[in-house]
Amino acid sequence: MTTETSTESTPLRPETIPNTLTTQLQAVLDGRWAQTRDVVRRQIDEQTLVPQHGLSLADYRERVLDQMKQMVPLGFPAAGFRPEHGGTGDVGAAVTAIETLGYGDLSLMVKAGVQWGLFGGAIENLGTASHHEKYVRGLIDLDLLGCFAMTETGHGSNVQQLETTATYDPTTGEFEIHSPTFHARKDYIGGAAEHARYAAVFAQLITGGPGEEPTGRGVHCFVVPIRDENGDDLPGVTTSDCGYKGGLPGVDNGRIVFDRVRIPRADLLNRYADVAADGTYSSPIESDNRRFFTMLGTLIRGRVTVGASAGAAGRYGLAIAVNYALGRRQFEAPGGEDELLLLDYRTHQRRLLPLVARAYAFAVAQNEVTAELHDLQTADPETVDPKDIRLLETKAAAIKAGHTALAQTAISQAREACGGAGYMADNLLPLLRGDIDVFTTFEGDNLVLTQLVAKEQLTAYAEDVQGLDAVGWVRFVANMATSYALEKTAARQVVQTLLDDSDEDPENSALTHPGTQLRLLRDREDHLTRTAAARMRRAKDDDADPLEVFTETQDHLVKVGQAHIERIVLESFVEVIGRVADRPTRTVLKQVRNLFVYSLLEDDLGWFLMHRHVSVERGKAIRRGVNDLCRDLRPHAQDLVDAFGVPAASLNIPMLGHH
């Protein structure tokens, strides 16, 4: 067997010289932390940080840990922590750096995210000075490897009902960490199988002061050592290995069972609640429920990062598929040099270009979330309005659900669009596909998050809704005094201006007008939210079973959430396009926005027609419009994907004519 180097090296992708359009588009996508992106891109290029196949789990895990160590000097691991804790205090850079790893190996991205984002984030945001002093420098430098032990075998999305207990013993001044049942086992925990020596453990705190009966105080977070220096389980700790997964071979997911493990009182992360030596419980936040959600809210960075990284991975997959489609010729046309490129086929355009348009819109919305997170988490905590935190949490949930779903679809379609070549591991798409698959599940299952977003809409972010179960929540909505209305006064300035500039009846304004587009998506969300609330109000009837009401309206609720996600993404996108000075770039971006909106409308055309938000005539124009926009954007396809700025090493695959 020999390899056919001479023939195989014919590049399918023509060499392109960066032109103004690519550069301008890339600047829009790169946003505020463009420099951080470039640092990570260079690292991916220089160290070829792309997925591998054929390695053993053990080798892959070692490889990724080594790669992490080489990233420490780049500075961004320190960026996620405040200067007074030992970091450099640039949250946006920390998130963007890990996002950009989505252009390389997602195993590395996840492992870095677990160490610096989740474990580090728990210490940073739930701990106090002594924890920062004890752990932050070490976890930045990787002298101290940690994991984030939240999920349990029996409890994925329902964190408030975790079963692991942390019982305070005032006689020794220790907490006893314990897994009372099989379902309480910590599961799927990245780092728990092999590398982590510490775990940030979420557990039900049980304590009482002198004369008090020990009482459950809800879920709190504790730093628990799990392994000794040789990597052996500490007494009372039993770890095991999840082994092979659908992807992410470089992440050592594992399980942890605690058998009455004792830790000192100081290892409760006590920013929001503390236990005195005598067992007295105290907290600046009175309501257990509000305290829980406040603590959970500080961990939002993980969710933002996962959405962002998935977005990068989706763009990566699309860049591969579009480059392939711009090099590969296929039949159906007269042969020879005039043979059509794959991307000249309308079906191929339709498969890839609407996804490219969505990738643009979501990338821009994601950047906005990262910036808002940065601004909130680097501000003086005293000046932060809790309402803004709550709004950002919902937005992060929305974008996480939307962006990870998009990435999964984009990579699947990219694989299929590359046919047999796309199935070869050397061409990386199958590895990306396997790696991205779990992003729809972790850091909040998408279906759960979408419902959470919808619930916030329906209750207009009411104080006491968080933590209600389905029945309680339905009862709450049913009894709300005011009926819901989309908070129009809160619209950002540019959106309001565009709305004012378009007719109240969208049918009377051109469909290419951004005001019309905004109105259609706002009206849909508004309509869905109002009708969902009306259906829930039936739970007030005497013979109504609130659980049945919930079940009967659950798919409606999901649709509210989806409509909300698409609306806020469009608003971000519109705002950013409005700030682009270069006219040709803005023109292309408007076409991209049109394709984004038209394809969303097409996907939900049944709803728009049925509820008379779109006329039959316009419905037909939408379908034609998607076709026309694909045709019009075809000449810009190379620029559009080059502007993603996927590193050359990541595109160095046989299918694109490289080795």
Site for a copy of itself in 184-223 (CB under 8 A): 185, 187-188
> Which residues inside 541-560 make contact with a copy of itself, applying CB under 8 A?
547, 550-552, 554-555, 558
d(CA 426, CA 206): 52
For residue 123 the two structure tokens come to 């210490």
d(CA 354, CA 657): 26
Residue recorded with tokens 């962002």? 308
Q: Which stretch binds a copy of itself (CB under 8 A): 13-21, 180-188, 378-386, 635-643?
A: 180-188
> Which residues inside 405-424 make contact with a copy of itself, applying CB under 8 A?
412, 415-416, 419-420, 422-424
> Which residues inside 41-70 make contact with a copy of itself, applying CB under 8 A?
53-54, 57
Residue recorded with tokens 């609720």? 557
d(CA 302, CA 200): 14
Applying CB under 8 A, does 20 fall inside the site for a copy of itself? no
Interface characters, 106-135, with a copy of itself (x: CB under 8 A): ------------------------------
Q: Which stretch binds a copy of itself (CB under 8 A): 373-381, 390-398, 443-451, 577-585?
A: 443-451
Smallest gap from Cβ 457 to a copy of itself, in A, equals 17
Q: Which is nearer to a copy of itself, 6 or 493 (CB)?
A: 6
Smallest gap from Cβ 169 to a copy of itself, in A, equals 26
List the one residue out of 263, 272, 280, 265 whose CA is nearest residue 296.
272
Q: Which stretch binds a copy of itself (CB under 8 A): 116-124, 139-147, 352-360, 599-607?
A: 599-607
**Helix locations, 89-179, DSSP H:** 91-100, 106-112, 120-126, 129-131, 137-141
Applying CB under 8 A, does 391 fall inside the site for a copy of itself? no
Applying CB under 8 A, does 336 fall inside the site for a copy of itself? no
DSSP assignments along 539-567, one per residue: GGSTT--HHHHHHHHHHHHHHHHHHHHHH
Binding residue for a copy of itself, selected from 141, 290, 345, 578, defined by CB under 8 A? 345
Q: Which stretch binds a copy of itself (CB under 8 A): 30-38, 182-190, 303-311, 562-570?
A: 182-190
Q: Which is nearer to a copy of itself, 350 or 513 (CB)?
A: 350
Residue recorded with tokens 């002061």? 209
> Which residues inside 554-593 make contact with a copy of itself, applying CB under 8 A?
554-555, 558
Residue count of the chain, please give it.
Answer: 659
Instruction: With beta carbons less than 8 A apart as the criterion, state whether 70 and 101 touch.
Output: no
Binding residue for a copy of itself, selected from 180, 243, 264, 284, defined by CB under 8 A? 243
Burial classification of residue 444, based on how many CB atoms lie within 10 Å of its CB (0-12 exposed, 13-18 middle, 19 or more buried): buried
Smallest gap from Cβ 120 to a copy of itself, in A, equals 22
List the one residue out of 93, 149, 652, 567 whose CA is nearest residue 373.
93
Q: Which residues fall within 8 angstroms of residue 112, CB to CB, at 6 or more apart?
A: 68, 71, 77, 98, 101
Residue recorded with tokens 């999920």? 151
Applying CB under 8 A, does 429 fall inside the site for a copy of itself? yes
Q: Cα 247 to chain center, whole Å?
A: 17
Smallest gap from Cβ 245 to a copy of itself, in A, equals 5
Smallest gap from Cβ 575 to a copy of itself, in A, equals 29
Name the strand (E) or helix (H) holding 615.
none
User: Is residue 635 helix, strand or coil?
Assistant: helix
Q: Which is nearer to a copy of itself, 498 or 655 (CB)?
A: 655
d(CA 276, CA 278): 5
Binding residue for a copy of itself, selected from 10, 230, 489, 508, defined by CB under 8 A? 10
Binding residue for a copy of itself, selected from 278, 372, 507, 602, defined by CB under 8 A? 602
Interface characters, 252-291, with a copy of itself (x: CB under 8 A): -----x----------------------------------
> Which residues inside 137-176 make contact with a copy of itself, applying CB under 8 A?
151, 155-158, 161
User: Is residue 52 helix, strand or coil?
Assistant: coil
Burial classification of residue 48, based on how many CB atoms lie within 10 Å of its CB (0-12 exposed, 13-18 middle, 19 or more buried): middle
Smallest gap from Cβ 605 to a copy of itself, in A, equals 3
Q: Which stretch binds a copy of itself (CB under 8 A): 35-43, 441-449, 518-526, 570-578?
A: 441-449
Q: Which stretch binds a copy of itself (CB under 8 A): 35-43, 204-212, 510-518, 601-609?
A: 601-609
**Which DSSP state fits 341?**
B
Residue recorded with tokens 């076409």? 591
What single letter denotes the amino acid at residue 395? K
Q: Which is nearer to a copy of itself, 27 or 605 (CB)?
A: 605
DSSP assignments along 442-511, one per residue: SSS-HHHHHHHHHHHHHTTT-GGGTT--HHHHHHHHHT-SSPP---GGGS-HHHHHHHHTS-SSGGGS-T
Binding residue for a copy of itself, selected from 276, 285, 447, 499, defined by CB under 8 A? 447
Task: Tally Cβ neighbours within 10 Å of residue 130.
Answer: 11
For residue 515 the two structure tokens come to 């005001």
Binding residue for a copy of itself, selected from 430, 506, 515, 647, defined by CB under 8 A? 430
Smallest gap from Cβ 563 to a copy of itself, in A, equals 15
**Which DSSP state fits 212?**
S
Instruction: With beta carbons less than 8 A apart as the criterion, state whether 188 and 177 touch.
Output: no
Smallest gap from Cβ 383 to a copy of itself, in A, equals 35
User: Is residue 253 helix, strand or coil?
Assistant: strand
Q: Which stretch binds a copy of itself (CB under 8 A): 7-15, 163-171, 280-288, 312-320?
A: 7-15
**Residue 589 β-bridge partners:** none
Interface characters, 603-622, with a copy of itself (x: CB under 8 A): -xxxxxxx-x---x--xx--
Residue recorded with tokens 């990724």? 64
Binding residue for a copy of itself, selected from 212, 426, 463, 504, defined by CB under 8 A? 426
Applying CB under 8 A, does 346 fall inside the site for a copy of itself? yes
Smallest gap from Cβ 10 to a copy of itself, in A, equals 7
Q: What are the Cα distances from residue 290, in Å, to 273, 284, 392, 425?
A: 12, 11, 16, 47
Applying CB under 8 A, does 230 fall inside the site for a copy of itself? no
Binding residue for a copy of itself, selected from 220, 400, 433, 636, defined by CB under 8 A? 433
Applying CB under 8 A, does 659 fall inside the site for a copy of itself? no
> Which residues inside 464-493 make contact with a copy of itself, applying CB under 8 A?
469-471
Q: Which stretch binds a copy of itself (CB under 8 A): 25-33, 178-186, 359-367, 642-650?
A: 178-186
Rounded to the nearest 10 degrees, what angle do helices 386-417 and 288-298 cross at?
A: 50
Size of the site for a copy of itself (CB under 8 A): 90
Residue recorded with tokens 């960490």? 177
Q: Which is nearer to a copy of itself, 1 or 581 (CB)?
A: 1
For residue 148 the two structure tokens come to 């984030």
